[in-house]
Amino acid sequence: MLLPVIMAGGTGSRLWPMSRELYPKQFLRLHGELSMLQETVSRLNGLNILEPLVICNEEHRFLVAEQLRQIKQLSHNIILEPFGRNTAPAIALAALNATANGDDPILLVLAADHVLDETTAFHQAIHHALPYATLGKLVTFGIVPTGPETGYGYIQHGETLDTSGNGVYKVYRFVEKPDTATAMSYITSGDYFWNSGMFMFRATVYLSELGKFRPDILAACEKAIETPEPDVAQDFIRVKKAAFLACPDESVDYAVMEKTDEAVVVPLDAGWNDVGSWSALWEVNEKDENHNALTGDIFLHNASNCYINTDEKLVAAIGVDNLVIVNTKDAVLVIDKSQVQDVKKVVDYLKKNNRSEFRRHRESYRPWGRCDVIVNEARFNVNCITVKPGGMFSLQMHHHRAEHWVVLSGTGKVTLEDKSYLITENQSTFIPIGSVHMLENPGNIPLVLLEIQSGSYLGEDDIIRIKDHYGLF
């Protein structure tokens, strides 16, 4: 049976300001109606597969769970990495988890943040790869190149293994990102594919090869997952932090694929793009008659070759060419499309100056719902809070702030000291400083309210949690 393993780690800093450390690109809607993670899962529809296993950073766990819940793919199938250790350990955790009960599925390893426009061609490549993975080969998918791209690694293929015309080859070698002249020679030769970072192999075969070439990684992963830590939410598979901390940081290419004698490559020509920059995103999106890719409320006059994306506000662009303009609730990026690789300089500046814009959006997601910070001042904050049905705050209190809640829609159950009561649309309640309180949504529709915080100190560390329902603390 085929088990999809979707790697959803990474920060995607080249797509700032939409992609942030706590909300990276794989969770954004950048190409299509769903997030990139949801598109990756949905792209598997029609294949004979097990329920996908997602590997993500622990900080993204509730975001991943909510997105899987939305597409009805959530059922204790998220492995949490307490910190990133690259792809070789991540895949090892998935393989060890998959074989824990004596099973030995074939793993289909996919990145959560790639675009593939032609699903049929993608499925065909999977079918071509499956017999080789079944026989113990380690398959990688090589993207049929469309030009001398210097931003990708390459795979040089060797002899043909398939006589039916499907073009399955032995891997001769992996090569790093080339300069332009070298990339041109690769394309001219016809012997090279772009390295997609997608793989297929039997779980035990991968573990065997990893143990042969990097036994230190395998040993650390075995210790980390041999007895998974308990999870209150029941949606996650938690590994032991101390054991995983000792695991080396290594990619699957370096750890296994470049060393094994069992690597084969299957060509993939399916409109693939890793959308690693704003210019790449412009390339894959639909464009108007002046080659502008547009998302949101936009007015243009005499503008061409631009990528413009706006969350809420109207963006007007006049007499401009070849620009990327991205507007979010708390930041605006304007950059020439030829210089999009320098977006990282902005992120580096924000990190150096301890600015929140590199890490989080104005709107953040919580296990109970989401919070949009509308006003953020020294002595008062105004938040728009949405609590999903069945969601609830922790039982808590504050030493320095009071709160006033005004319900916009839905019904909330308020616990205040030793009393509980309901508040509904257009009703409000006051939470004095030092009062033990909790809010939950007992209804069937989202609870939306304004929260006005006021006091001498409004920091998150003034939340004194007495009882938590999600295993956060």
The Cα 91–Cα 113 span in angstroms is 16
Q: Is 175 helix (H, G, I), strand (E, B) or coil?
A: strand
The Cα 13–Cα 274 span in angstroms is 13
Instruction: Indicate the CATH number for domain 363-467.
Output: 2.60.120.10
Encode pLDDT of 7-48 as tens digits.
Answer: 999 877 899 999 999 999 999 998 888 999 999 999 999 999
- For residue 370, the cross-strand partners are 365, 386
- Banded model confidence at residue 227, pLDDT cuts 50, 70, 90: confident
Query: Which CATH superfamily is 2-273 part of?
Result: Spore Coat Polysaccharide Biosynthesis Protein SpsA; Chain A (3.90.550.10)
Q: Calculate mean pLDDT across residues 184-212.
A: 96
Encode pLDDT of 333-345 as tens digits.
Answer: 999 999 999 999 9
pLDDT above 90 coverage of the chain, percent? 85
DSSP 253: I
Helices 87-98 and 215-225, packing angle to 10 deg = 50
Encode pLDDT of 64-103 as tens digits.
Answer: 998 999 999 998 899 999 999 999 999 999 999 999 999 9
Q: What pLDDT is recorded for position 225?
A: 93
- Banded model confidence at residue 253, pLDDT cuts 50, 70, 90: very high
Q: Calculate mean pLDDT across residues 278-307.
A: 96
> Which among 88, 55, 106, 85 has a CA at the least distance from the CA of 210?
88
Lowest pLDDT segment from 164-178, 222-236, 266-280: 222-236
The Cα 333–Cα 344 span in angstroms is 12
Q: What pLDDT is recorded for position 201?
A: 98
> How much is the mean pLDDT over the chain?
94
Q: Is the pTM of this model over 0.85?
A: yes
DSSP 257: I
Pairing of strands 307-310, 293-295: parallel
- Banded model confidence at residue 350, pLDDT cuts 50, 70, 90: very high
Sign of CA dihedral 414, 419, 425, 427: negative
DSSP 269: -
Domain boundaries, the chain: 2-273, 278-348, 363-467
